Chain A
Amino acid sequence: MLNLPISRRELLTHSGGSFGAAVLASWLGQEVTAAPVSNLNGGLHHPAKAKRVIQLFMNGGASPMDTFDYKPELVRLHGQMLGPKEKPEGFTAAAGAVMKSPFEFAQHGETGRWVSTVFPHQAKIVDELAFLMAMTTKTNVHGPASYMMNTGFMLPGFPCMGAWISYALGNLADNLPTFVVLPDTRGLPYNQKGNFSCGFLPAKHQGTLVNATSKTPIPNLFADSQYAFAREKADKDTFALLQQLNRQHAAPRPDDTRLEARIAAGELAAKMQLSAPEAFDLTRESKETHTAYGLDQKVTEDFGRRALLARRLLERGTRFVQVWSGPQGAVNNWDNHGNIQTELPPIAANVDQPIAALFRDLKSRGLIEDTLVVWTTEFGRTPFAQGSLGRDHNRGTFVTWLAGAGVKAGASYGKSDELGYQTAEGKTYCYDLHATILHLLGIDHQRLTYRTAGIDRRLTDVHGHVVHEILA
């Protein structure tokens, strides 16, 4: 499977023995970047286009027909009862009448892409994005749908994409976490931390949850100040003696690379202590950058801060960053059951300017050449009203866009039906999206496996096709 002297499975499921340096490296999550792939631009199975990924996750089910999926038919059919007679599984209420979008749409850029007024900033960069216009999923319920978009399975316990990428490619730099999650400051998404779990993969592949507003964004990077014996010089001295004692302990036990792995992990931890504070220090960014990301405005401040932080981390070697918009729950997210006209614009405004700024920033720094940007959500919303003004969950069709490394700017794939209720052509599942992202990272999604409980598990289960139509 991998070009290593022993199989991936042996490497990772046997913990008792000794395989020398390869295993040591594997426990530190680095081996795969090292040997087989330098001539593949960091890829695993074929040359990689992207080295790092930033995923922007709109939590709650962003409405396609009020943002990117222009549906003039909804205007014509507005008010007619065309929805399913019986409440489909996962709808929270029976379908109401067809409801047109309360927002104006206009065409933008050379590609003439339709965008509604809720995204004035993204409208200006549409020519740089590639749209999957017929994404679909298997459930209308937040929990399982969020699991699907993150892990490819509807059940808990499976590794998310970030964990798989960490497992496959390891780190780009050893002084920062490989996989970072930046949840909305107002709360965790559906499934709590389940969406960032490493499932059955080794624990080190799970997402590091970073609280962007905390004084200690990486928990436990330093001891709390009340423990003076673990701060500064005391910390350094203790750590130095610890490493010395651990080396003495390991010396007569050369067979056990786990001992060495712990010692090496300690060294990396020390490096992280040195580098992370700088990486997390947004005051090092210019005033112009702060303004561009909207850090000076209340509405964009939170998402803008996290988008900017994400860029700093990616720039310094973090492999995968996931930035969430909206917590779980009934408000402050994309789950606009009650009133699309009043609930969607505020959450859209939270992210719109920061996203456009992030893209331009990545571009101006040249990072976009090998950075993939993904904008997605867990499902769409009904073209039928819920109550009279809101929209219910709809697994039928929704929108995702990608941009950056290896992506064909201005491309579009798939179409929803005239109502925007189901897909019409080019149906794309999370499996296909994940396969495409892995493909850009130089990974064949069918060959990235981990054996657990009798199955060679994949991020894409037994599915997945790379969507070549949107690749450069």
Chain B
Amino acid sequence: MKAMYMWRTLLGWLLLIGPAFADDNAFFLESVEPILNQHCYECHSHTAGVMEGDLTLDWQSGWKTGGSRGTAIVPGDPEKSLLVKAVRHSDPELKMPEKKLSDQQIAILAQWVKNGAHDPRITKPASEPIADTDWWSLKPLVRPTVPGDGTGNPIDAFIHARLQQEGLAPSPEADRRTLIRRLTFDLHGLQPTVEETKAFMADTSPTAYESLVDRLLASPRYGERWARHWLDTVHYADSHGFEHDVFRPHAWRYRDYVIDRFNRDTPWPQFIREQLAADYFYPKSTDLTVALGFLGAGPYDQSAAATAPKSFEYLDRDDLVTQTMGAFASTTANCARCHTHKFDPITQADYFALQAVFAGIGKGDLSFDMDQSVATQRDHWKTIQAAAQQKNSKILLTPENLKLVAEWEQSRGPIPHWVPLQADVFLSTNGADLKRQPDGSILSTGPPPDQETIVVTAGTSLSTLTAVRLDLLTDDSLPHKGAGRAHNGNLHLTEFELRAFTADAAEGQVIPIRQATADFNQAGWTIQHAIDGNPKTAWGIYPKVGIGHHAVFELESPLIIEPGTRLVVTLKQLHGGAHIIGRFKLTATDAPNLNVIALPAEVEAVLDTPAATRTPEQQTQLASAVLQHHAEQELQKLPPYVQVYAAAAEAANERGMVKFSTPREIRLLVRGDLEKPRDVVGPGALTALSPLPARFDLPQSHAESARRAALADWLADPRNPLTWRSIANRVWHYHFGNGLCDTPNDFGRMGGTPSHPELLNWLASELRDGNGSLKHLHRLICNSKTYRQSSACGAPLMKRDPENRLLGRMSRQRLDADSFRDSVLLVGGQLDLTMGGPGVSHFTTSPGPQVTPVLHYDRYDLDSPGAHRRSIYRVVWRGIPDPLMDALDFPDLGLLAPTRGFSASPLQSLVLLNNRFVLHHAQKIAERAKAAETKIPDQIKQIVSWSWLREPTPDELEKMTQLADAHGLEAVGRLVLNSNEFLFVE
């Protein structure tokens, strides 16, 4: 009854105002809505997921409620409607959109409002839906029950149960020759030797196979093989890529770190934490700095970093988010950069929260000590140095430090007697007018040159010389009284050089300086810079201008002055800006056993005071001067820092020291557009994985590394459903050629679904609950019957499961580029197993048109030192691939490469047949065979056994002998290296 009434009312109403209503509707839909849609929705709609100023314009209620400024539209009154004001740009505070609409569009909107703002959009539009979490990879990881009676390898239980369901049977075990070849390629990336194969085939122990697995896993070859997988996954290379594809000489330390970590079977959670935030988690283990090479693995656009820094940093962080979430969590978070992920529950804010994790890091070389004890000492002396500069008595006056000061004071030789050097010639090479003063000092006058080099030639009455002293003096004619001529009274002494000319000598002898000290050093411009040979560094005195200073240069060893010897002192002042010396004086001494420190006058005064009567202030002054010098000497004794290409809060790159005092503020960007920043987003990860935190609860002021550490903890959490499945699946992928989920970097809805979800969960649980040991997983897999099956494919399997998703047999795999190259070296008896260190370049270089060199892979000496080392140690130039490796599907490391491709093309065939590496080593193989045997058939038998691990059939032997007879044994070498029997692993 009620419904009927309503119907009637509605119908009547429609009939009454129908035509006008229809016109209004049409006007809105045809004229008004397209304008709103095109120009306003981007920032004010549910579908865009953005409601700027809390205002939505995609439904009636949105503008009626209005945003933070109030109702947007007053129907009938355009003048009072904020929306109309905004589009007219009449209020300077409220101009929308940024690019003004056309007059016609503004008129349409005003007309619409004037007519009463009829708006048929009465239902709330759906927000851009966030995909739900009901998806296999996001479900909590629960250890499944193993099918069957609980005996045997659980992997087989899962696989066999499924095969049984499908009415299929597993394949029989492969023969031993196949098994050792399979295992050795899988775990070492190498062909087994004939001896290893024979020994295994003859091993009658019931655990022969298991022992082989153990032996292979214990070998360092294992880490070399599996590190390559990880380096692919994180797109590690030895050069930048992009326009300036510059070499990274220190990147290799990360490669060595990864090899080491695999060999040590570092627990996976620890591996995650080290790579993302070793500096946070292990501050005392400076050698772990190499792990941060993870953050520097990807490409770097040096050109954009210089000229377009904002977009560079944005895209660089994007790459880090992609890499981190792809590698550790098999998640494509980067797909949410422009909009909330279309398929997976990842919001755009989640994406920017991940960007915020990396918002405070710069890429470049990090300096560190490999040896922790050196690091400890360096820390100690740097603390002392800092304390000395700050006159921190708390640190300087500890008993331990006071002891050092007292020791110095006691060991101090007699105060040297400084004798003037009789300067008879003094020259300014840049045109200043140098004038001798009554006291024997020299004053620089006239217009000050930008740079300066002063050369003083002097004689001396001394018969031995142990040190030269340079006094910088004030003068009323100098800015701020000097002692420099720069506008602020400063100067920069770039280099101090001393030469001795014996009588009649045409050339002077350079006298080496052992140490230099100054009474005062400008921060960053210490006296050491005046003897470092570097024209870009210098000694300065700012801000202590207007008073005299001095520096003492002690000779390496006493200089015997023969009669007639002239001393030449060169004072280079190359900084520019008239940072040149205003007035100076040179003296020298013959005092033996010098251990002078150039001390400020006030400290000299302290030394004149008996120790017992010195005030604490005086003690501090003295300790500061002495300990500063002592610390410098101690620091100089330490071995230099080593470097790794990585990223952290501070890194050195082509722009100098990149240092983020605070991380960049990260804002959500509408459509990922830098020009459309919205709200600030703090560091965090994915919202959908409760109870894991979506945003990281960090104190207001936190170290930059704390952000990365929080993400590492988030990833390494036992409750994270993605991490454990991700690595378990990767391990499976490399063993079988296909993951249980066949998209190792994408566990989302666009990726594959696992063929055996329960097995994947079980493996992931084993890893999570078993201390994150990959070797444990390798053992389980390699020892399973599933892994040991033959790869022969019977008719039922071929028909029912051509892709081998059910694993009723082993999958045949083609050698990847690295395994091929390494095994060619092994077969020819050339493989060099030297581990670690800087990479080997398989090319020569010549200068390119700009900073990227030209690489000549075809001119490389294939027998040069290191040429026969494993491929993991080769320099991978990101933008200029090695043609041999390229042909065998070595990936483009501009992007992450979780899988290696397979291709067969005529060009690949040509490379394998004719590349000089292959031909060169075909010769090596022939040489090796000739050294081992005398008759051609026997030599051929050798070659076949090295490469195929078997005897040739009589037919094969006959044909190969014919080939060798006609064209040489090398032709047989070339033949086997190109054969599918060599290129594929059963």
A residues whose Cβ falls under 8 Å from a Cβ of B:
13-19, 27-29, 89-92, 139-144, 146, 154-158, 174, 177, 186-188, 190-194, 197-200, 202-204, 206, 208, 218-224, 227-230, 233-235, 237-239, 241-242, 244-246, 249-250, 252-256, 258-259, 261-266, 268-269, 271-273, 327-332, 451, 453-456
Contact = CB atoms under 8 A, between A and B. Distances in A.
A227 B921 CA distance: 11
10 contacts: A90-B308, A141-B307, A144-B242, A197-B892, A203-B901, A203-B905, A242-B975, A268-B909, A453-B745, A453-B895
A249 B887 CA distance: 22
B975 A156 contact: no
Given A229-B967, A265-B908, A329-B850, A197 B903 contact: no
Contact of B914 (A222, A244, A250, A328): A222
Interface string B864-904: 00000000000000111101001111001111101001111
A89 B309 CA distance: 7
Nearest to B239: A192
A219 B737 CA distance: 31
Interface stretch (B79-87, B272-280, B798-806): B798-806
B241 interface: yes
B301 A143 contact: yes
B335 interface: yes
Nearest to A155: B315
Contacts of A194: 241-242, 878-879, 892, 894
B304 interface: yes
A146 B748 CA distance: 31
A328 B243 contact: yes
7 tightest Cβ-Cβ pairs between the two chains A and B? A156-B894, A329-B849, A157-B895, A157-B894, A143-B243, A192-B879, A204-B905
A70 B318 CA distance: 40
A238 to B, nearest CB: 5
A234 B902 contact: no
B310 interface: yes
B979 interface: yes
Interface in B206-250: 235, 241-245
A208 B907 contact: yes
Interface string B752-795: 00000000000000000000000000000000000000001100
Given A157-B894, A187-B849, A453-B326, 8 more contacts: A14-B803, A90-B307, A197-B894, A203-B887, A220-B907, A224-B919, A453-B896, A454-B343
Nearest to A326: B849
Contacts of A177: 906-907
A169 to B, nearest CB: 15
A234 B967 contact: yes
Contact of A220 (B751, B905, B914): B914
Interface of B: 235, 241-245, 299, 301, 303-304, 307-311, 315, 318-319, 326, 332, 335, 343-344, 737-738, 742-743, 745-746, 748, 750-751, 792-793, 797-798, 802-804, 811-814, 848-850, 852, 854, 858, 878-881, 883, 886-889, 892-896, 898, 901-911, 913-916, 919, 922-923, 956, 959-960, 963, 966-968, 970-971, 974-975, 978-981, 983-984
Contact of A230 (B343, B798, B880, B971): B971
Nearest to A204: B905
Contacts of B881: 193
A91 B306 CA distance: 10
Contacts of A266: 906, 909
A261 B919 contact: no
A327 B849 contact: yes
A27 B904 contact: yes
Contacts of B960: 241
B971 A13 contact: no
A456 B307 CA distance: 32
A203 B880 contact: no
Given A141-B243, A203-B901, A230-B974, A253 B812 contact: yes
Q: Most A CB atoms within 10 A — which of B792, B802, B906?
A: B906
A449 B488 CA distance: 65
B750 A204 contact: no
A262 B980 contact: yes
B981 A203 contact: no
A223 B243 contact: no
Contact of B793 (A221, A253, A331, A454): A253
B307 A140 contact: yes
Given A192-B879, A328-B243, A220 B910 contact: yes
A262 B888 CA distance: 12
Contact of A262 (B886, B909, B959): B909
B309 A199 contact: no
Nearest to A395: B308
Given A16-B803, A220-B915, A454-B748, A139 B906 contact: no
A18 to B, nearest CB: 4
Q: Most A CB atoms within 10 A — which of B892, B916, B960?
A: B892
B243 A190 contact: yes
Nearest to A227: B919
Contacts of B797: 255
Nearest to B805: A17
B854 A187 contact: yes
A199 B894 contact: yes
Contacts of A91: 307
A220 B911 contact: yes
A436 B888 CA distance: 33
A230 B750 contact: no
Nearest to B984: A259
Nearest to A151: B894
A258 B814 contact: yes
A28 B905 contact: yes
B307 A92 contact: yes
A202 B901 contact: yes
A269 to B, nearest CB: 4
Nearest to B752: A13
Q: Most A CB atoms within 10 A — which of B308, B898, B971?
A: B308
B815 to A, nearest CB: 12
Given A144-B304, A156-B878, A455 B332 contact: yes
A268 B903 contact: no
B55 to A, nearest CB: 27
A41 to B, nearest CB: 26
Contacts of B308: 89-90, 139-141
Q: Most B CB atoms within 10 A — which of A143, A186, A208?
A: A143
A156 B906 contact: no
Contacts of B959: 241, 244
Contacts of A14: 738, 742, 803
Contacts of B914: 220-224, 230
A404 to B, nearest CB: 27
A200 B898 CA distance: 11
A206 to B, nearest CB: 8
Contact of A265 (B245, B299, B904): B904
Contact of B904 (A139, A239, A261): A261
Contacts of B745: 453-454
Q: Most A CB atoms within 10 A — which of B241, B307, B746, B854?
A: B307
A17 B971 contact: no
Contacts of A199: 892, 894-895
Q: Most B CB atoms within 10 A — which of A244, A268, A453?
A: A453
B894 A265 contact: no
Contacts of B913: 220, 223, 230, 235, 239, 269
A237 B961 CA distance: 12
Nearest to B896: A453
Contacts of B811: 16
Contacts of A453: 326, 332, 743, 745-746, 895-896, 898
Nearest to A146: B243
A245 B310 contact: no
A451 B895 contact: no
B922 A192 contact: no
Q: Most B CB atoms within 10 A — which of A222, A261, A271, A455?
A: A455
A141 B919 CA distance: 42
